[in-house]
Structure 1
Amino acid sequence: MPRENQEDDILAGEREDSNSLTLENTPESSLKYHTATETTPLLSTENGTIEDIESTHRPRRWQTLTYLLMLVIFLVGAADSIVESPTTRIFESVICYRYFESEDPSKIQLGRAAAGPGAIGGVEERYCKADSVQQQLASLAGYQNLFEGFPSLLLAVPFGWLADKYGRKPVLMLGLFSFLLKFLWIQMVTWFWQAFDIRMTWLSALHALLGGGSPVASSLFFVVLSDIVPQDHRASTFLRVGASELAAKVVIPPISASLMTINPWIPSLIGTGLMLICFLTYGIVPETLNYYQPTERPSALHPTSSTETTQHPKPPSPDPQPTHHYTPTNPLNRLLHSLHTATAFLTHDYRILLLILPFIGHSLIAQTSQLLLQYTSKRYHLTFSQATLLTTILNAVKVLLLFALLPYASTLAIRHFRLSAQRKDLYLARASQGFVLVGWTLVGLSPNLVCVVVSLVVAALGQSTYLLIRSFLTSLVPADQIARVYSIVSLVDTVGAMLGSPLLAGLFGRGLALGGGWVGLPFYFLGIISAAFAVLLFVVDLRKGEESDGDRESNDGEREDRE
């Protein structure tokens, strides 16, 4: 055989092995990479590193990373849960002290100097249930969420673009650090309440400038999961990860309530410590951008050439992308250009927009935790520590639902009813939304404590709605646009929080003024808006050909599990 033909065969063999390594992610492809033949060169001309080899083993590691993320999310939930009630109580104490200082000084038990941090003990808690105090407390929380929304509204899309371009980890680390700063600022203002106006706590909203705030961080956690979890496991994983946060809300509030009987500052400071631990724990999570794609770093001895780069082209995005991108030089124009690029997919599939809109309801329901404490405390004459234990029942049902009931229903829908993963997510989301609208409406109508507990259980059965919508939405968009889609979701979440939180606070104040059953007015509103979003879910459906793809991926996942 001529020497030229031998060299051509050798080069063709090397290209075939290289392509199989890039496109295949199986043990067989790993075996091809390690198998040496007589024609294998001793020094490879490819510029791969050890990460190329590690990438073939990454499918086996996604469960481990999922558990680590569940731990981080549990810590975030624990930090939020342990500080929520004590912070509300400290706010109430400061507002109450200043109210009675001017309106009825006879209610004051301790002077300003003796009252100590947060004016705890200055006025008996039972006097702080006055309508004027509760209205100020509701307004304080409502405007806090409004102000936090502005940075998130402006920065959600840019941070999503940064996460797609530079990685998820730096953006999330920045966000977790900003939460720590928020906790510290609120504690400083309330600790030195004699020197600061309680409304100075609103400045803690500036923490969102560092990472986009809670909506961006929450969305990025799900982006990280989408990076590493196969599609056939995605919905059940989303449910279990959501349950890990709720598990913290089951375990931690009773601990917080018991510590509050001693001093609300104890759980408040513990929460700050937990947030610090959460920040440090996420530091060991690897970057997940392009997690299943082997990375190749240019070598100093063998710089990457244009011909080598084109040997392993990435599959094209479903949305057509121009070969040459216009990049404005002006910073403002760059920001507007990035915003236009990041939101272009909304015009390609109307279902994406319809699936994003219900997240307004998600943000509204997320804001009800503190409102629920106030509502049950006021209407059913409970202390905040007792109301905290009541919400624990709600969270316990949610954990049971997400950890056990819905994963079982998800498996049953696929194996028994032969539904695709996508259609299963859509049907379960519709059913869950029905529980949401019925449950929250009944919360407002409940005349006694037993009825409100039953109503909260019904509402809890709809907890999975937005996790299921997120899973279904993820299946409709290309992998390289997931972070941008989730950034739009966080933006809608932010708009809902900005508009909804003051609205719910205003409705609660109006209900207090009207008296009687009108005190449940904010929950009637939740029921109405949930009904509107249920209609949107019934408008959305799968297109011809999409379901078959989902079935094939689901069946492939089941085959892998059996093997």
Structure 2
Amino acid sequence: MSFQVRDSDIESDDSSSSKTRVSSSSDITLKRMSPSERTPLITTKALPSADEDVSATKARRNHAAHKIVLLLVAILILATFGDQISEAPLTRIYESIICYRYYENADPSKIRMGRDTVGPGAIGGVDELYCKVNGVQSQLSTIRGTQQFLDGIPSLVLAFPLGWAADRFGRKPMLTIGIISFVFRACWMQFICWFWQAFDIRWTWASSLHGLVSGSSACISALFFVLISDVVAQEERSSVFLRVGASNMISNFTMPPLAALLMRYNPWIPALLGTFLTTTSLFLVALLPETLDWRHPHSTPSSSHPPSPTSENALPPPPDPSPVNTIASLNYPVRLFHGLRSATQVLWTDWRIPALISTYLLHMLLGVLAIQTLLLYISKRYLYTLSQATLVLTTRSLINFVFLFLLLPAVAKLLTVRYGLSAQRKDLYLARGSLVLTAVGWTMIGLAPTVPAVFVAIIISSLGYGWPLLLRSFLASLVPTHYLARVFSIISVVDSVGLMVGAPLMAGLFNKGLDIGGMGIGLPFYVLGAACAVTTGVVFVVGLRKGEERGSESDGEEDDALR
């Protein structure tokens, strides 16, 4: 099956079929118009109605959109498989290098093989059991923590310019460049580890420079959602977002066990396999069509459907730089200010947009840092081994997958079909309910006295896992297409800020909870529950304005009719 779909393909099919119809009809007409006194002076022929043409074009367009979404899901799965299967092995390789160098000075008797015989990454040079000492683990934590911090800097600095580039030059080039940069990042880290005797392990930090062209993982993740928003109709957008999010989670409960199995032989096997999988996703990216203006390539105002406050025409398209522009005669700081103001004007036309973007400060805090803290929390409070605690979290990932892929889309369809809610109102209501469950679930985790109780609390918190995807879909309905990549890039900036600020915050709260003891050990989750409650309040304040739902539906009809 070929996923490469272009507008020219559809147009050529239409034109060829049209020519065939005209040719055949001409032959019939010539035969019927042979000289005879019975031949009517005026002949009539039934032509396809405008509604039939619109319906056929809409069906072809939706079919093509489904192919593009499936292709995006395949790219996402390959890329996340590559990332997940290589994460633990690469950490083990780091640990092995640090451990070998540590015992060269601390206790050479622990070294099994000399530098001339030990393999790449110092694997097998020292038994892994001896690498769990504080001296090794503290260095490993510093290396990984610094890497995470450095990876976040490009998102803060370049996410917005890269979002502008995606709106200006297209989505496909930016996605291609981004994935290539991730391949080079992985190759650089593995190169340093392979030749560990010639390079200090801290040279791996230079891999963060890949963000100078891609903006790091947060920007690439935002770009995936932009691509989906380009091709999927509004009424289906939230369900597609949820299923894509569920597909992204497949790697969370399939790749770690596979990586652990392969690491028994050599951690380099899954590490190199991860790089290969990420590289393979580039071949699928080559099949993607450009999706900028995909649903409405000929965007013109419609007299029958005046623009609504949330339509594409609510804001002008981004200005095209021109040498005759009067701003060009100003000095650079003034030009920079005017360019930034023009590019971010979408944020100031509707207060709901920055309000909803601010909620993503909590996104990475719940998605990454809270899970890492939860692993230590379960191990410490309930005296579980880390492997047992990891099994509990793997079960959580499976629950999230089932909920996002099956249950939540079914609820969304029920609200739309049976209760007649618009796509916007459905997304908003589901996001509110999800945040309520998230706040209750994380608070219950801190209060849970036993493992069964914390497991129930984890399930409740998992039921709210889809709120960032639902809010992203709702935001996409408020933002004009030409500003969508920039808004999603700003979300990635907020994600990075939340991650960089939240990491020391969660560590400090966990250490404080350990000092308090007893129920106080759940302090990080009490704070998370309170933060979720504040975020829930923000989303409840945001609402739909009078006439917006009707305007959104009209815009959707215009898009589908391909004006």
Bin of the TM-score, shorter chain as denominator length: 0.7 to 0.9
Query: Do structure 1's residue 84 and structure 2's residue 80 form an aligned pair?
Result: no
1:357 match: secondary structure: helix
Deviation at 1:475, TM superposition (A): 0.8
Q: Is the 8 A contact 1:147 1:498 kept in 2?
A: no
Q: Is the 8 A contact 1:143 1:502 kept in 2?
A: no
In structure 2, what residue type is equivalent to 1:423? R
Given the superposition, is the C-alpha separation of residues 131 and 119 from structure 1 closer, same or farther in structure 2, using an over 3 Å criterion? same
Query: Do structure 1's residue 61 and structure 2's residue 64 form an aligned pair?
Result: yes
Given the superposition, is the C-alpha separation of residues 130 and 510 from structure 1 closer, same or farther in structure 2, using an over 3 Å criterion? farther
Number of the residue aligned with 2:152: 149
Number of the residue aligned with 1:250: 253
Given the superposition, is the C-alpha separation of residues 380 and 181 from structure 1 closer, same or farther in structure 2, using an over 3 Å criterion? farther
Deviation at 1:150, TM superposition (A): 1.6
Deviation at 1:514, TM superposition (A): 6.7
Q: Is the 8 A contact 1:243 1:402 kept in 2?
A: yes
Given the superposition, is the C-alpha separation of residues 163 and 556 from structure 1 closer, same or farther in structure 2, using an over 3 Å criterion? closer
The Cα offsets for residues 270-317 of structure 1, whole Å up to 9 and x where unpaired, read as 111111111222121111111134479xxxxxxxxxxxxxxxxx9972
Query: Which segment drifts farther, 533-542 or 93-102?
Result: 93-102
Number of the residue aligned with 2:416: 414
Q: Is the 8 A contact 1:76 1:245 kept in 2?
A: no
Query: Which segment drifts farther, 125-134 or 453-462?
Result: 125-134
Deviation at 1:507, TM superposition (A): 4.4
Distance 1:374 1:197 in 2: 30
2:314 match: secondary structure: coil
Equivalent residue for 2:464, pick from 462, 465, 471:
462
The Cα offsets for residues 386-443 of structure 1, whole Å up to 9 and x where unpaired, read as 6554432121111101110001110111122322211111111111112323333444
Question: Percent identity between the aligned chains?
Answer: 45
Given the superposition, is the C-alpha separation of residues 295 and 425 from structure 1 closer, same or farther in structure 2, using an over 3 Å criterion? closer
In structure 1, what residue type is equivalent to 2:474? F
Number of the residue aligned with 1:14: none
Distance 2:376 2:91 in 1: 9
Number of the residue aligned with 1:5: none
Give 5+ residue unaligned stretches, structure 2: 1-6, 26-55, 300-306
Distance 2:15 2:341 in 1: 40
1:504-519 aligned at under 5 Å gives the runs: 504-508=506-510
In structure 2, what residue type is equivalent to 1:359? Y
Distance 1:339 1:121 in 2: 54
Given the superposition, is the C-alpha separation of residues 126 and 413 from structure 1 closer, same or farther in structure 2, using an over 3 Å criterion? farther
Distance 2:95 2:377 in 1: 14
Distance 1:453 1:132 in 2: 34
Number of the residue aligned with 1:360: 361
TM-score by length of structure 1 reads 0.78
In structure 1, what residue type is equivalent to 2:367? A
Given the superposition, is the C-alpha separation of residues 510 and 117 from structure 1 closer, same or farther in structure 2, using an over 3 Å criterion? farther
1:378-457 aligned at under 5 Å gives the runs: 388-445=390-447, 450-457=452-459
Query: Do structure 1's residue 328 and structure 2's residue 328 form an aligned pair?
Result: yes
Deviation at 1:243, TM superposition (A): 1.0
Given the superposition, is the C-alpha separation of residues 467 and 332 from structure 1 closer, same or farther in structure 2, using an over 3 Å criterion? same
1:221 match: secondary structure: helix
Deviation at 1:33, TM superposition (A): 9.7
Number of the residue aligned with 1:480: 482
Query: Do structure 1's residue 266 and structure 2's residue 262 form an aligned pair?
Result: no
Deviation at 1:385, TM superposition (A): 5.9
Deviation at 1:358, TM superposition (A): 1.2
In structure 2, what residue type is equivalent to 1:151? P
Deviation at 1:496, TM superposition (A): 1.6
Given the superposition, is the C-alpha separation of residues 373 and 417 from structure 1 closer, same or farther in structure 2, using an over 3 Å criterion? same
Q: Is the 8 A contact 2:312 2:480 kept in 1?
A: no
Aligned length: 506
Given the superposition, is the C-alpha separation of residues 375 and 203 from structure 1 closer, same or farther in structure 2, using an over 3 Å criterion? farther
Distance 1:83 1:160 in 2: 28
Deviation at 1:332, TM superposition (A): 6.5
In structure 2, what residue type is equivalent to 1:350? W
Number of the residue aligned with 1:140: 143
The Cα offsets for residues 71-105 of structure 1, whole Å up to 9 and x where unpaired, read as 011112211211222233334444455556666x3
Equivalent residue for 1:236, pick from 236, 239, 257:
239
The Cα offsets for residues 424-468 of structure 1, whole Å up to 9 and x where unpaired, read as 111111111123233334445556655544443333222211000
1:300-379 aligned at under 5 Å gives the runs: 317-319=313-315, 326=326, 328=328, 335-368=336-369
Q: Is the 8 A contact 2:293 2:481 kept in 1?
A: no
Give 5+ residue unaligned stretches, structure 1: 1-20, 39-52, 297-313
In structure 1, what residue type is equivalent to 2:237? R
Given the superposition, is the C-alpha separation of residues 278 and 541 from structure 1 closer, same or farther in structure 2, using an over 3 Å criterion? same
Q: Is the 8 A contact 1:158 1:338 kept in 2?
A: no
Q: Is the 8 A contact 1:438 1:527 kept in 2?
A: yes
Query: Do structure 1's residue 490 and structure 2's residue 489 form an aligned pair?
Result: no
Q: Is the 8 A contact 2:364 2:498 kept in 1?
A: yes
The Cα offsets for residues 221-263 of structure 1, whole Å up to 9 and x where unpaired, read as 1111111001111110111111111122222222112222333
Distance 1:480 1:443 in 2: 42
Q: Is the 8 A contact 1:328 1:334 kept in 2?
A: yes
In structure 2, what residue type is equivalent to 1:394? R
Deviation at 1:538, TM superposition (A): 1.2
Given the superposition, is the C-alpha separation of residues 266 and 247 from structure 1 closer, same or farther in structure 2, using an over 3 Å criterion? same
Number of the residue aligned with 2:192: 189
Q: Is the 8 A contact 2:188 2:207 kept in 1?
A: yes
Q: Is the 8 A contact 1:175 1:211 kept in 2?
A: yes
Number of the residue aligned with 2:36: none
Q: Is the 8 A contact 1:189 1:198 kept in 2?
A: yes
Distance 1:457 1:466 in 2: 17
Given the superposition, is the C-alpha separation of residues 270 and 521 from structure 1 closer, same or farther in structure 2, using an over 3 Å criterion? farther
The Cα offsets for residues 96-123 of structure 1, whole Å up to 9 and x where unpaired, read as 55556666x3893535636644444555
Q: Is the 8 A contact 1:178 1:211 kept in 2?
A: yes
Q: Is the 8 A contact 1:254 1:388 kept in 2?
A: no
Distance 1:525 1:277 in 2: 42
Given the superposition, is the C-alpha separation of residues 380 and 422 from structure 1 closer, same or farther in structure 2, using an over 3 Å criterion? same
Given the superposition, is the C-alpha separation of residues 347 and 32 from structure 1 closer, same or farther in structure 2, using an over 3 Å criterion? farther
Distance 1:155 1:262 in 2: 40
Deviation at 1:124, TM superposition (A): 5.1
Q: Is the 8 A contact 2:230 2:291 kept in 1?
A: yes
Number of the residue aligned with 2:208: 205
2:344 match: secondary structure: helix
TM-score by length of structure 2 reads 0.78
Q: Is the 8 A contact 1:161 1:338 kept in 2?
A: no
Given the superposition, is the C-alpha separation of residues 211 and 554 from structure 1 closer, same or farther in structure 2, using an over 3 Å criterion? closer
Query: Which segment drifts farther, 183-192 or 208-217?
Result: 183-192
Query: Which segment drifts farther, 267-276 or 502-511?
Result: 502-511
Distance 2:21 2:325 in 1: 41
Given the superposition, is the C-alpha separation of residues 479 and 367 from structure 1 closer, same or farther in structure 2, using an over 3 Å criterion? same
Given the superposition, is the C-alpha separation of residues 512 and 276 from structure 1 closer, same or farther in structure 2, using an over 3 Å criterion? farther
